[in-house]
Amino acid sequence: MSSATIKDVAKLAGVSPSTVSRVLSQHPKISPATVRKVKEAMETLGYHPNIMAKSLVSKSTQTLGLVLPRSAEELFINPFFSEVLRGMLAYANTAKYDLLMSSAHSQQEELEAVNRMVMGRRVDGIILMAPRKSDPIVDRLREHDFPFVLLGRSVDYDDVLCVNNDNRKAAYDATNHLIEQGHTRIGYVSGPPDLVVSEDRLAGYREALAEANLPCNREWLVGTEILEKSGFHAISLVMNLPERPTAFVIADDVVAFGLIRELYQAGLSVPQDVSIVSFNNIVMSELSNPPISTIDIGIYHLGYLTVQQLIRKISGEAITQPQITVPHRLIVRGSSVRSHK
Amino acid sequence: MSSATIKDVAKLAGVSPSTVSRVLSQHPKISPATVRKVKEAMETLGYHPNIMAKSLVSKSTQTLGLVLPRSAEELFINPFFSEVLRGMLAYANTAKYDLLMSSAHSQQEELEAVNRMVMGRRVDGIILMAPRKSDPIVDRLREHDFPFVLLGRSVDYDDVLCVNNDNRKAAYDATNHLIEQGHTRIGYVSGPPDLVVSEDRLAGYREALAEANLPCNREWLVGTEILEKSGFHAISLVMNLPERPTAFVIADDVVAFGLIRELYQAGLSVPQDVSIVSFNNIVMSELSNPPISTIDIGIYHLGYLTVQQLIRKISGEAITQPQITVPHRLIVRGSSVRSHK
DNA sequence: AAAATACTTGAAAACGTTATCATATGCCGT
DNA sequence: ACGGCATATGATAACGTTTTCAAGTATTTT
């Protein structure tokens, strides 16, 4: 039951394939009568254009590539990912684009996947998530002048499209909030250290402390992976220090969840003994006990705008602002304010 | 900078395009010397095959379609989705398949997306998530004899491929666990009512109650959407009844989170006043306070096996078992056991 | 040593579209 | 009424692969 081709439609409608193609692409100079005939024929045959053939000649696939970074395991478990994907799909959908996803377990596979997509002309543009410092793939795509957009900040070039938060400022705000609550010993639990975002946030944290003339003890810097479990031991180490922090800025809500639980088991409670501010404002941060104070970074928007920028680039629209910053805002909840001091 | 074609490679290597194609597809009868020459040429030209052209003639795209249901908003916010996607991508990756995602806001769009993918020969097979009772898309794909797999149970046909849990038994187990803890008034908070899975779980819940000769009060059945917020009001209603439940089976961990918080705000605590068992075992259910007792349904596996089945079907392998059931297991945590009775 | 057989390569036709160019028809101005 | 000019359609050549068929060369068989 192989599907009908443009020729079948042409034959049934009594016109040439060219005419059918013109009807398909809504060519202006075509008589209403013919349009009707052709559409009728398409209907009765259940015709749908073969996208491969179409792409082959028109060189446009209406598809965007999304290669998941090799740290996908971490990302995935985090609701951050589904939310950003939701934003991406939302815009893609309005522009009639689809998303082609590929996952990679190693940098080698990552490069292969990009090559398959890009060089194989399988996608019109590509989205790169969570860039590391100086990513070879970025260089590659830049050389080939292939449309792509970074979800995150570009370290090396300032002409590449990217959509990002002001992570430095966000961490600065988070830290400042804790300072305003009267904390003087504030720790930091970071994400994967080679991610650009981790670096930026650490900088903002440091800046806020410096500005308030507060100490930034190396021992209070927990360098955990984004997965919640890995940080556990580190946390107990920190909390057993003679001079232990009374508050933490945490790079991710999921990590915060783990931390709260860990502290609870150690007999410490949030926010009475330790205050907490984290990042992302995932749905469950509001439902936690206590609810988690967090920086809402507009994840959905991040995804939405990323795709919007990419599609603009592909359509050849002039891009006035290659680097977009999505605003963040601090949401204060129970984890960082003690009801009765 | 348009990329090199197979002809360019052929010219540089001094052979015919056919030969290059044969090298590409690892044809057996081709001399080692030629292979070397051709590979060299491909290397220097940075050649990558054009997948569109390849698919056009070979009629295989190495791509699987995933159309997100119109209730995607709900699904997405739930970590369930990223986990199942992770499993899907993992297997797809090993088999060198990519995933083409499309989101739909209405049933109309859903059908369009499937048509674009299937009739446009853009994918080799398609994954359908969270099927509703008697889905027209299933009928359609069946008619066309197009490879597809259901993540969930097929209500109407027993020859369609599907990967599922024994949701009836899972709910039965969850309910039984609460009964064993001594509860006699057990409520149920369900997911979207038109989903097959909701129906199955409700049945299991009822069965367990009936078997234990316990009442199944209609007023204790909270029909919430899967999003955590919607259930709030309903819950307060239930808890204000003269004869209120002392335990709940909850269709989803995220809903459980919301419920615990809501109860807490009403001055009730878990598990002292109300016990809870839910479904999915998302990462955060372990990190909750108290940790949530839940049925682990093997989400990752669900996704992994779904793609495995689909690819088997596509490859024409004989499928002995069209319907696969992924085992579940009850994980007892703090939300359902009172430390000191 | 001739014939049969195996192995390796090339030429050309397909796959289902779009796009360019040419052609036929009807209409207008003079 | 006739050359010119829109307007609507058709023929044909791409697009970059794979695949079938045939042919050329090397190797074996009798």
Which positions of chain C lie under 7 Å from any protein Cβ?
7-12, 14-20
Mean of per-residue pLDDT scores for chain B = 88
- Between CA A6 and C1' C14 the distance (Å) reads 16
pLDDT digits over B276-316, tens only?
999 999 988 998 888 999 999 999 999 999 999 999 999 98
CATH of A6-48, one of 2.120.10.70, 1.10.10.10, 3.30.420.40, 1.10.260.40: 1.10.260.40
Mean of per-residue pLDDT scores for chain A = 88
Residue A228 confidence (pLDDT)? 43
* Nucleic strand D under 7 Å from the C-beta of B57: yes
Contact residues, chain A, for B90 at CB < 8 Å? 103
Domain B63-165+300-328 classification at class level: alpha beta
Residue A127 confidence (pLDDT)? 96
- Between CA B113 and C1' C16 the distance (Å) reads 20
Per 3-state DSSP, what percentage of chain B is helix, strand, and coil (rounded to 5)? 45, 15, 35
Residue A3 confidence (pLDDT)? 82
Q: What are phi and psi of A170, to 5 degrees?
A: -60, -45
**Cβ-contact A208, A176 below 8 angstroms:** yes
**Spatial separation of the C-alpha atoms in residues B124 and B117, rounded to whole Å:** 9
**Domains A6-48 and A63-165+299-329 in one fold:** no
Contact residues, chain B, for A105 at CB < 8 Å? 93
Domain B6-49 classification at class level: mainly alpha
Tell the CATH superfamily of the B167-297+330-336 domain: Response regulator (3.40.50.2300)
* Nucleic strand D under 7 Å from the C-beta of B27: no
Lowest-confidence region among A17-31, A65-79, B28-42 = A65-79
Residue B111 confidence (pLDDT)? 86
For residue A252, how many other CB atoms are within 10 A of its CB? 24
Would you call A89 and B81 a contact, using CB atoms and an 8 Å cutoff?
no
Contact residues, chain A, for B72 at CB < 8 Å? 86, 89
Alpha-carbon distances, residue A8 vs A2, B275, B280 (angstroms): 12, 64, 50
What are the structural domain ranges in chain A? Answer: 6-48, 63-165+299-329, 167-297+330-336
- Between CA A92 and C1' C12 the distance (Å) reads 41
Domain A63-165+299-329 classification at class level: alpha beta
A224 pLDDT band, cuts 50/70/90, is low
Mean pLDDT calculated for residue range A14-28: 92
Q: Using DSSP, state whether A257 is helix, strand or coil.
A: helix
Q: What are phi and psi of B132, to 5 degrees?
A: -90, 175
**Spatial separation of the C-alpha atoms in residues B250 and B254, rounded to whole Å:** 9
* Nucleic strand D under 7 Å from the C-beta of B2: yes
Contact residues, chain A, for B115 at CB < 8 Å? 48
Residue A101 has pLDDT above 90, yes or no: yes
- CA nearest to A68 within chain B: B89
Provide the strand spans (E) within B82-174. 98-103, 125-129, 148-151, 161-165
Question: For the purposes of burial, counting CB atoms within 10 Å of the CB of A266, is it exposed (0-12), middle (13-18) or buried (19 or more)?
Answer: middle
Residue A149 confidence (pLDDT)? 96
pLDDT digits over B178-195, tens only?
999 999 999 998 877 777
Distance (Å) from the C-alpha of residue B16 to the closest C-alpha of chain A? Answer: 21
Q: Which of A78-87, A126-135, B36-45, B331-340 has the highest mean pLDDT?
A: B36-45
Residue B340 has pLDDT above 60, yes or no: no
From B46, B79, B145, residue closest to A1, measured CB to CB: B145
Would you call A99 and B98 a contact, using CB atoms and an 8 Å cutoff?
no
A16: which nucleotide lies closest, measuring CA to C1'?
Answer: D10
B225 pLDDT band, cuts 50/70/90, is very low
From B83, B103, B120, residue closest to A51, measured CB to CB: B120
For residue A161, how many other CB atoms are within 10 A of its CB? 22
**Cβ-contact B97, B64 below 8 angstroms:** yes
Residue B59 confidence (pLDDT)? 92
